[in-house]
Amino acid sequence: MSLIERNSLVTLYYRLGLPNGDILEENFDDEPLTVQLGCGEMAEGLELALIGLTAGQKETIDIGPDLAFGYIDETLFRSIPRVEFDPDIELEPGLIIEFATEDDETLPGTILEINEDEVRVDLNHPLAGQTVRYSVKIVAVDDGAETGTKTIH
């Protein structure tokens, strides 16, 4: 039976949530996900926690901000002119919308406050500063030679 090591190709079911029981994302009712460890596709803390597990194992893992989605960075709070937002979007505090970066990538931003002229936005990851809980079930482990697998980025 293969142990998960750095760079292993791992097929798993996962549930991402908070320690209070809130579930944010999961694939237990869908197809399992196959990821290559060491490629930055998953939170660093989750990858580290998977090392040493084998197919068939189930684990629940709490990961702090340092190895999950980072700590809150106050420099990522921005005030953006309201006219830069699509007028068809109903802006409200707590709404998460995607913003384009200069590199043509997107990042989530959470609306904090709205007034006539500006919208205050938090560009930290929505889970920044929080401990998250992953529940996983390992389906398969291999050396990465498998093809035709679904990979997250």
Q: Is the pLDDT of residue 145 over 70?
A: no
Q: How far are the Cα atoms of 15, 71, 100, 108 from residue 121, in angstroms, in the given order?
A: 28, 16, 13, 10
The pLDDT assigned to 101 comes to: 82
Element (H, E) at 50: helix 44-50
| pLDDT in the model for residue 1 | 67
Handedness of CA 39, 146, 56, 3 (dihedral sign): negative
Report in angstroms the alpha-carbon separations of 95 from 16, 69, 118, 124. 20, 19, 15, 13
Domains of the chain with CATH codes: 9-69+128-142 (3.10.50.40), 74-122 (2.40.10.330)
pLDDT tens digits, residue range 17-62?
999 999 999 999 999 999 999 888 889 999 999 999 999 999 999 9
Query: What confidence score (pLDDT) does residue 143 get?
Result: 63
Residue given tokens 């989605």 in the structure block:
69
